[in-house]
């Protein structure tokens, strides 16, 4: 079944690489006009070349409300609408016991992973979607559904994002659908330390015997923002190769 997004405009944050870039590519291939955002212009220029189709970029920090408001404005000016928002950008400036995180590190994580998503969604809602309808997709994490050492506060923000997704879905319907994907370990620059050092070991424990690729997230993202998912809102789709169903004794 071919999924099409013809006539739609998508704004994808954190889309110069990794999952965001894969989603932008999938949307463009499906006929959408795509606006990419990230902090670094050089990376965005290269990303737009890879995405092709009707795509453009705007340099914006996802945790900066003023910059993201301008990004929404530029998307509407450039393409005439903002029908789809993918909140993909995230940060994790700290690794270690959560109890020892500094105030500045915690605030930076919250600023991008929660506040940025809330206000970017609010801008899309007030500037376009409230009147015309649309779809929001948040990229959460399986970490928001479990407990693990090292990235505890990052996972706290992802758990909050999962709840925020449901709250948004309740408030923004029926004109706007809001869903989330919770990826497991995916081969991205963001998670490079994990998959380079423990990727093979983790893959052996998974029922599907491999860690994810960015395209593994882009495919369900395309479905969730398409008309095929028109009666789905407030859903959290786990895409993790089966990591959440591994019994305590491991896979036999």
Bridge-based pairing state of the strands 9-12 and 33-38: parallel
CA atoms within 13 A on the CB side of 5: 29
Reading the block at residue 114, the tokens are: 């929660």
Tell me if residue 94 is catalytic.
no
Pseudo-torsion of CA 96, 97, 99, 100, nearest 10°? -40
Catalytic pick among 57, 94, 153, 154:
154
Q: Are 44 and 120 in contact (CB under 8 A)?
A: no
Residues with catalytic annotation? 154
């Amino acid at each position: 079944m071919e999924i099409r997004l013809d006539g739609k405009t998508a704004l994808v944050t954190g889309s110069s690489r990794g999952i965001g870039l894969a989603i932008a590519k999938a949307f463009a291939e499906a006929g959408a006009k795509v606006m990419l955002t990230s902090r670094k212009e050089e990376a965005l220029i290269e990303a737009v070349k890879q995405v092709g189709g009707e795509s453009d970029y705007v340099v914006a920090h996802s945790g900066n409300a003023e910059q993201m408001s301008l990004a929404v404005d530029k998307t509407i000016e450039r393409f005439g609408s903002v029908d789809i928002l993918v909140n993909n950008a995230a940060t994790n400036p700290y690794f270690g016991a959560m109890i020892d995180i500094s105030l500045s590190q915690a605030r930076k994580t919250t600023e991008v992973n929660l506040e940025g998503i809330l206000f970017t969604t609010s801008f899309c809602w007030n500037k376009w979607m409230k009147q015309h309808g649309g779809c929001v997709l948040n990229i959460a994490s399986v970490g928001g559904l479990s407990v693990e050492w090292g990235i505890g506060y990052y996972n706290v923000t992802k758990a909050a994002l999962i709840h925020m997704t449901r709250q948004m879905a309740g408030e923004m319907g029926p004109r706007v659908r809001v869903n989330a994907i919770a990826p497991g370990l995916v081969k991205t620059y963001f998670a490079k330390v994990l998959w380079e050092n423990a990727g093979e070991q983790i893959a052996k424990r998974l029922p599907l015997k491999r860690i994810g690729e960015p395209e593994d997230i882009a495919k369900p993202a395309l479905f969730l923002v398409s008309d095929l998912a028109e009666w789905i809102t407030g859903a959290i789709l786990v895409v993790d190769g089966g990591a959440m169903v591994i019994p305590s004794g491991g896979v036999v």
